[in-house]
Each structure stands twice: as structure tokens, then as C-alpha cells.
Amino acid sequence: MMVKIRRIKLSNIVLLGLVSMFVDMSSEMVYPLIPLYLTSTLGATPAILGIIEGIAESAASLLKVFSGYIADKYRNKKQLTIWGYSGAVIYKVLLLLATSWSGVLVARVVDRVGKGIRTAPRDALIAESCLADNRGGSFGLHKMLDMLGSALGILIAYFLVTSDAFSYKGIFGIFALSIIPAMLGIIILLFVQEKKDHAPEHKKLEFKFKELDWRFKAFLVIAFVFTLGNSSNAFLLLKAQSAGYSEQTVILLYFAYTIVASALAWPSGKLSDKIGRRALLVSGYALFGLVYIGFALLTGQYAMIMLFVVYGAYTAFTSGVERALIADMAPPNLKGTLLGMHATLVGIALLPASIFAGILWNSFGSAAPFWFGGCLGLLASVAIGIVLKIKPPVYNQK
């Protein structure tokens, strides 16, 4: 019986990973093209790009904590996840209709709102589908498939963009093609099994922030401050373009980042199960700081390749491990709520982060936002090492 339960739970994690893989393939087919399309065709400045990305990400963040709370209270994680992933399809349709940067803004907001609805319920589904001793590996496996989808989407975009028939009008063909993998992801999601309990529906959910562990609260503060320097990845693409890479080869740099993140995500998650989350997070934040300082100092094309590769390692060390850490510290009935709370605070910080980056770029040059982000990354590495030096409590319940 135990073997059967484990098989079902593993299938859930794999299915959710495949959902993310196909939907991220869809999103990344168009994401590297958005900043180039906005600046080269629609005449948007880096400051406008920052505003678009900041507003879009913040719109998503405001929904994440509410979505997580609703998922915990009404036990409808799968339903919310389906609704959220549907936004990825609507996003591509709106991109096809957009004729100005404001139209792209509306499309990005819809896409990010969908992400805001689905993120916490999906992560809660992962958390309830694994045991405490392999939680890092489970989130790492999901992140691996997620980033693999991103890499495949970027590679598809590259081959389409570099084809002889490509023109900026051809971007709309890529937007249309990207709808297909998003639909496949939603179909796979229908096969995910949500854990049901026998508690009364719409039960009162007790949630008092002051009673949460102090290390979780400190972690939220660190994540918020760190994110103020972690602007949209669109600025990394623009930085590479300013270093001499063509609009087409910039896409390959982003591919290198995603494939490294995918390759390292699962091993990093499993390693965090063995040696603890602290070591991975300290290393990850430190890598971010060094990479951003590298973007500020280095302008050579070979340096850009190295920086994008190491940036992939940062993502692998932190993304899945952070979610596993939060699931460790969250009471069993509040996993969706606390995962959503973290995602909300990080998303709120993304608005000023991207706006600051755009203003710093316009006012002081392309190195300025990376100096700012690099320093915050190194400070976050030290802070997280101090806060997690005392091991936080772990709830062993699934």
C-alpha cells in the first residue's frame, strides 16, 4: 500500500513538472522577444520596459497570498491551478492583438495574474505530494522540468527567429505557435490528483502572523530586500545586446542560463535534503551578487557567456530550495498560504526593482542597476546565513 501511495505522489510531482515544462516552453518562446520587440519595433525605452515588467509582476504578486489562502481554506488547489494556467493561453492571444507597448502591458498583466493565481496552489500540491525528507528533491525535480521547458521554448524561438523567412511580422507567428504547448500543459494538469481530507468544507482557517516562527518572518524580510535589486531578466538581455551580441544570439545566452538552471535544479534540491537548505541558499545569493557585479564590470562577449551560465546556477540553488524551506516551516494547513505570502512579498518588490533598474540605467549607465543588485545579493547571502544558523522547526506532516 505504501508503494502505491508513493507512486501516486511521485506521479503528481512529475505531472506538475510536465505542466510547467509545456507552459514555460510556451512562455519562453516569446519572452526573449518581448524586450527586443518593445525597444526595436515599438520604440519603448528601458525605463518603459522596467515599468511594464514591474507592473506585470506586481499584479501577479498581489494575488498569490490570497490564492494560497483560498486553496488552504477550500481545498481547491487543482481548480485554482487550472484557472491560473489558462492565463498563459489568453496572454498569447492578447499579444497577437497588441499594437503598442500599452497593449503588451495588458497582455503581460494577464499572464502574470494567471501566474499569481496558480503559483501557491501548485506549490502546495507539490508539498502535499512528497515526504519531508525528500521535499527539496521534489521541488528541485519540478524546477528542473520547469526550466527544461524554458530552455526548449528559447531554442525554438531562436531557430524561428534565425530562419530566412523571419521578420518582425514573423514574431506574430511565434506568438500563435506558442499557444499549442500551453494548451498541452493544461490538458496534462487534468490528470493531477489532489489530496482530499474529511474536514468540513469552508472550515475556519486559523492564521495569525505573529505566531509564525521568527525565522520565517526574517526570511520574508531578507527576500523582500534582496528582490529590490533583482530586476527583470529583460535587463540581462539588454546588457548582453549592449555588449555586442545580436538580437538573435542574445536568445542563445538566455538558453544557456535556462539549461544550466534545469541541469542543476534537481541535484541542488536533493542536496538540500541531505545537508540543509541554508548552505544552498547562502551559496545561491552569493552567486547572484557576484554575477550582478560581473555584469557591472565586464563587457566582453565571452564574459557574458560565463555570467549567464553562473546565473543559471544561482537559480538552481535558490528557486526550488526556497519553496522547500517555506514548506518545511509552514504548519500543514497553511502551506499554500505561506508559500503565497512569500511569493506576494517578492512580487511586490519586483515593481520598484524593475523601475529602479530602468531609472538607474537611463541616469547612470548600464552598469548602475547591476552594482545595486549585486551589493544587495551579497548582503542577503550573509543575512540568510545568520538567520538560518539555528535550524528552523520542520513539520513532518505531509
pLDDT tens-place string over residues 355-372: 888 889 989 998 999 999
Contact 256, 312 (CB under 8 A): yes
Mutual angle of helices 277-297 and 368-387, in 10-degree steps: 160
Percent of the chain with pLDDT over 70: 88
pLDDT band at 392 (very low <50, low <70, confident <90, very high): low
pLDDT digits (tens, 9 = 90+) for 110-123: 888 898 899 999 99
Distance between CA 62 and CA 345 in Å, rounded?
8
pLDDT band at 169 (very low <50, low <70, confident <90, very high): low
In this structure, which CATH number among 3.40.190.10, 2.40.50.140, 1.20.1250.20, 1.10.3720.10 belongs to the domain 2-193+212-387? 1.20.1250.20
Q: What is the pLDDT of residue 5?
A: 40
- 3-state SS, 281-328, equals HHHHHHHHHHHHHHHHHCCCHHHHHHHHHHHHHHHHHHHHHHHHHHHH
Average pLDDT rounded to a whole number, residues 325-347: 86
pLDDT band at 190 (very low <50, low <70, confident <90, very high): very high
Q: Which residue has the cell 527567429?
A: 161
pLDDT band at 394 (very low <50, low <70, confident <90, very high): low
The mean predicted confidence, pLDDT, of the chain is 84
Domain spans, the chain: 2-193+212-387
Residues 6+ apart with CB under 8 A from 177: 29, 156, 160
